[in-house]
Structure 1
């Protein structure tokens, strides 16, 4: 394991959230937001309003910038984002997760909680110099973010679809020779 489990989960969910902005956008309704949140066990207040959905959608470009930044730039972004929020760190245990750190209150807006959880995970990424584990999809037609948690650092594509598309293209290119 490269990171603590809560950091891995925060990074995985942030990558999925950022990638919902790819064409086609897959985060356009409250139901899609509910599905996303259900997959990632976000706790705390939920307004279930259009304003909340819009706020979560609006945080995606900032998360993308953070996730694909070089290490020194990521550190600066982390610091800037931390200055914007009131942190109230506390150890919590919920659902199937053992003790881990929550940095904001359950009543803070959802978009802010998502941003802070991602920032806290990126602190670990920067501290252990593992920003190379985050990149942009190797598919020339895709801008998705990739989180590589594999031991051999071999993940290049944001999804199975992108990986399969490139494998088929490589196969066809070999057959055409």
Structure 2
């Protein structure tokens, strides 16, 4: 494990959130899609289930993408600090829902987008502190701009979860076969 479990989950959640907006489609356009996302990533706390909540979560995606792709620890740190300050984050140790001790920096009644932003910011803070920004990547797949978090021990993850690695492997296989 590279980071604490809650950090790894928060990083994976941030990737998944940003990647709901693909080049050709947006998979977060309805309250039902947001409900599915929230349930899938086991977010707890207050929800309004309205258009305002959906818009706020959707607006978080480009902010996280900018931080993810910045590549400069000073830029990421400034962005993380801005997200935490805007939310009035106050980190606290908590245990709930089968999770052992981990950090929350917003109350459970904070808006969903605020809780998502702060969780991502706290995870990115850990990445910056560990000097591991190179683990935050953009998919190496042709014509893919999805984000990737490389939590592998040997830092070898290059592709997103939408099949780009498989497509690259098939293309390389076909290219090798064509030579023979």
TM-score by length of 2: 0.94
Aligned pairs for 1:25-36 within 5 A: 25-36=26-37
Q: Aligned pair count? A: 177
Match of residue 48 from structure 2: 47
Q: Distance in 2 between matches of 1:96 and 1:9?
A: 14
Match of residue 65 from structure 1: 66
Deviation at 1:81, TM superposition (A): 1.9
Q: Once structures 1 and 2 are overlaid, which stretch shifts more, 70-79 or 142-151?
A: 70-79
Match of residue 18 from structure 1: 18
Q: Distance in 1 between matches of 2:70 and 2:100?
A: 30
Match of residue 135 from structure 1: 137
The unaligned stretches of length 5 or more in structure 2 are none
Secondary structure class of the residue paired with 1:20: coil
CA RMSD of aligned residues (A): 1.1
Q: Distance in 2 between matches of 1:14 and 1:52?
A: 17
Deviation at 1:83, TM superposition (A): 2.4
Match of residue 92 from structure 1: 94
| The one of 79, 82, 85 aligned to 1:80 | 82
Q: Distance in 2 between matches of 1:160 and 1:107?
A: 33
Q: Distance in 2 between matches of 1:88 and 1:160?
A: 35
Q: Once structures 1 and 2 are overlaid, which stretch shifts more, 152-161 or 128-137?
A: 152-161
Deviation at 1:122, TM superposition (A): 0.7
Deviation at 1:66, TM superposition (A): 1.2
| The one of 100, 109, 115 aligned to 1:107 | 109
The unaligned stretches of length 5 or more in structure 1 are none
Deviation at 1:162, TM superposition (A): 0.8
Secondary structure class of the residue paired with 2:122: helix
- Displacement over 6 Å in runs of 4+: none
